[in-house]
Amino acid sequence: MEMYMLPSVITDIIGSQLMIVLSFLSLRYTFLLIRREPDNFLWGFLHYFCIALAIFAISRAVGHMVKQALLISDQKEIWKMISPFSGGINTLLMISVSAVTIYYHKGVEGYRAIQQKAESLRHANRNLEKATTTMKEMNLHLEEMVESRTQDLALSEEKFRNFFHNSKDMVFFIDKEGAILDMNKAGLEMLDYSKEKPPRLSLNHLFANINDLEDFQNTLSSQKFVEDFEAELIKKDGSIIYALLSATGIYDENDEYVGCEGIAKDLTRLKTMTAQMISTEKMASVGQMAAGVAHEINTPLGIILGYSQLMKDDFPENSEEYENLVVVERQSHACRKIVADLLKFSRQSGSSAQEVNINEILTDVIAITEHNLHLDHIDIEHCLAEDLPVIAGDEEKLRQVFVNLINNAQHAMEDEGGVLTVRTSFSKEEQMVTASVIDMGTGIDEKIRSRIFDPFFTTKSVGKGTGLGLSVSYGIIKDHNGTITIESPVMYKNSCQLTPGTAMHVRLPVLGQDDNRESTPATDNQLLEKDKNG
C-alpha cells in the first residue's frame, strides 16, 4: 500500500482558495454590521477579528499556493528561501488574531454592562409601551367620557340659561354678604332697573322692611332654605312691590355658607286683585245696605214731611207751633236729600244718558265754585284738552261728581290756599277721557285711603259734610263704567318732586266704547294701584 500526497496537495490548493473566499464573505458581513450598528462593540470586535483572519487566510493560502506551485515546478530552492518569510508572517498573524480575541475580553465586559443596561432599558421601554397603550386606551375612554360629560353639561347649562333668561319671575344669586351677584332680566324689569347696566344691588337695598330682611336671613341660616317668604321690595323709583321669595343656601365643601340662589314672584297684582275683590264686596254690601236703609227711611220720612205740611195749615203763621213744623219740614227735606244721595251711591236712582263734553261740565263747575275758592285764596288753573271727545253720561250727575271733587280739594287747601289744577286729557289707545282735579293740600293719609269711598266717612268737622260726597261720586262714575283713582302724594305738574297734595283722576270711556268695555269695577283696581304706589 502506498500513500500518495496528491490528495493533500489538492485539499491544500482548494482549501486555501475557500479560506480566502469565506474570510472575505465574513469580513463583508462584519462591515455591514458595523455600518448598521456602529456603536455595537461586538460587531467592532468581530470586524477586526475578521480583518486579521482575512489577512491570515490570504497570507497562508497564498503561501500554500505559491509553495505548491514552486514545488510542482520543481523549484525547491526558491521555496526554501521564501518559506521562512511565509511562516513568519503566518505566525505574526496568528498572534494578531489571538491578541484581538484577548482584547475582546476587556471590551466585552463593557459591552455586557451596556447590554444589561440596554436590556433593562428595553424592559423599561416595553413596560412604558404597555403603560402608554393602557394610557392611550384610558385617554381615549377619558376623551369619550369628557365629550359625553361636556355634552351633558352643555345641555344642562343651556337649560339653566334658558330658565334663567326666560323666566318670568325674578331669579337671583346672592353672595354671603348679601350682595346680588346676578339677576335675570325679569328680575331687573320687576325692579325697573336697566338690563344693560344693572347697578350693584344688595338685599339691604331691596328689602323695604329691615325686619323682613332679618327674618329672611335668619330663616336661611337656620333652615338652609326659605320658602314662600312674603316681603316688600323697593323698586328703582322707590315704590314698593310685594314679592314671594324662595331661596336655597349655597354651601362650600367645608359646609360654609357662601351665598344663596332664589326666585322671587311679583305678588303685587295678586294683592291688588285680592284687595279689589275685598273692596268690591265691601262696597257692594255697603251699597245694598244703603239702598235698604234709604228705602226704609224714605217712606216714614215722606209721611213725616206730609203730616208736618198738613199740620202747618192748622196753625197760624208766626206761631210757635208753625215755626216748629217748619223746622221739622226743613230737616225732613235734608233727610230726603241724604236718602237720595244714598240711592245715588247704590245706583238705584234714575239717570239719563246723553252726549256729554267733560270740558263743558268742568267749565260750568269752575264757574260756579270759582268765587268760593277765591275766598279761601285758592287760584284755579285749568288745562283742558282741545277736541276732547264726548262721552255718554248723565250731565247732572257728572257735574255733581266734579263739584264734590272740587269741594274736597277746597277743603284740603282752605287753611293754606294754593293752586287747584283741573286738567283733561284723552288717550287714543285706551279711548278714555281723563279729568283730574289736583290740589296742593295736606294729602290723604295712608291709613284712611282705603276708606274714603265708604259712605258717611269724612274727615271734615261735624256739620261740614255728611261723608257721602265721594261715595256718591264713586257710585256715579261706576255707573258710567268709569274709574276714579287717587294719587297722593302727587307729582306736581311735570316736575319730579312729590308734593303732599292729592290728585283725583276720573276716567270715562268715550262714546261708542262703553259697550265694548267690561263693566268691571275698575275703580277699586285703580284705587289700589295708586295705593301701592304710596
Partner 1 sequence: MSPVLKYTISVFFAFGCCVLLPEQSMALQTHGAPEGIYVHQMAHILYMAAMGYLYWDTKRSTFPGRGWIYLRIFCVFTILWNFLALIGHASTQHLHPEDFTNVDGYLFSKVNMPLTFVKVVYYTAKLDHLLAVPAMFFLYMSLRSFYKNSLKKDGE
CB of 157 to partner 1, least distance (A): 49
In the region spanning residues 24 to 53, those forming contacts with partner 1, defined by CB under 8 A, are 25-26, 29-30, 32-33, 36-37, 42-43, 46, 50, 53
Q: Is 383 in the site for partner 1 (CB under 8 A)?
A: no
Of 5 and 496, CB closest to partner 1? 5
Of 87 and 534, CB closest to partner 1? 87
Q: Are 361 and 399 in contact (CB under 8 A)?
A: yes
* 120 vs 202: CA distance, rounded Å: 67
CB of 153 to partner 1, least distance (A): 44
Quick one: which of 11, 151, 194, 204 contacts partner 1 (CB under 8 A)?
Answer: 11
Q: Quickly count: other Cβ atoms within 10 Å of residue 373's Cβ.
A: 20
Q: Which stretch binds partner 1 (CB under 8 A): 20-28, 260-268, 287-295, 503-511?
A: 20-28
Amino acid code (one letter) for 517: R
- What is the DSSP secondary structure assignment for residue 451, as one 8-state letter? G
Task: Identify each DSSP E strand in 316-414 by its residue range.
Answer: 354-356, 378-383, 391-393
Give the residue from 467, 460, 469, 481 showing the smallest Cα distance to 526. Answer: 481
Of 54 and 470, CB closest to partner 1? 54
Cell of 418: 294754593
Of 104 and 402, CB closest to partner 1? 104
Q: Locate cell 230737616: which residue?
A: 331
Q: Quickly count: other Cβ atoms within 10 Å of residue 66's Cβ.
A: 16
Q: Is 120 in the site for partner 1 (CB under 8 A)?
A: no
Give the residue from 397, 524, 410, 500 showing the smallest Cα distance to 460. Answer: 410
Of 50 and 504, CB closest to partner 1? 50
Q: Which stretch binds partner 1 (CB under 8 A): 80-88, 143-151, 373-381, 446-454?
A: 80-88
* 169 vs 97: CA distance, rounded Å: 100
In the region spanning residues 97 to 116, those forming contacts with partner 1, defined by CB under 8 A, are 97-99, 101-102, 104-105, 108, 112
Q: Are strands 170-175 and 180-183 parallel, antiparallel or unpaired?
A: antiparallel
Give the residue from 388, 385, 379, 386 showing the smallest Cα distance to 421. Answer: 379
Strand partners, 510: 391
Q: Is 77 in the site for partner 1 (CB under 8 A)?
A: no
Q: Is 74 in the site for partner 1 (CB under 8 A)?
A: yes
- What is the DSSP secondary structure assignment for residue 449, as one 8-state letter? G
Q: What angle do CA 412, 294, 410 make, to 5 degrees?
A: 10
CB of 78 to partner 1, least distance (A): 13
Of 132 and 427, CB closest to partner 1? 132
Q: Is 22 in the site for partner 1 (CB under 8 A)?
A: yes
Quick one: which of 38, 84, 316, 463 contacts partner 1 (CB under 8 A)?
Answer: 84
List contacts with partner 1 (CB under 8 A).
1-9, 11-12, 14-16, 18-19, 22-23, 25-26, 29-30, 32-33, 36-37, 42-43, 46, 50, 53, 57, 71-72, 74, 84, 87-88, 90-91, 94-95, 97-99, 101-102, 104-105, 108, 112
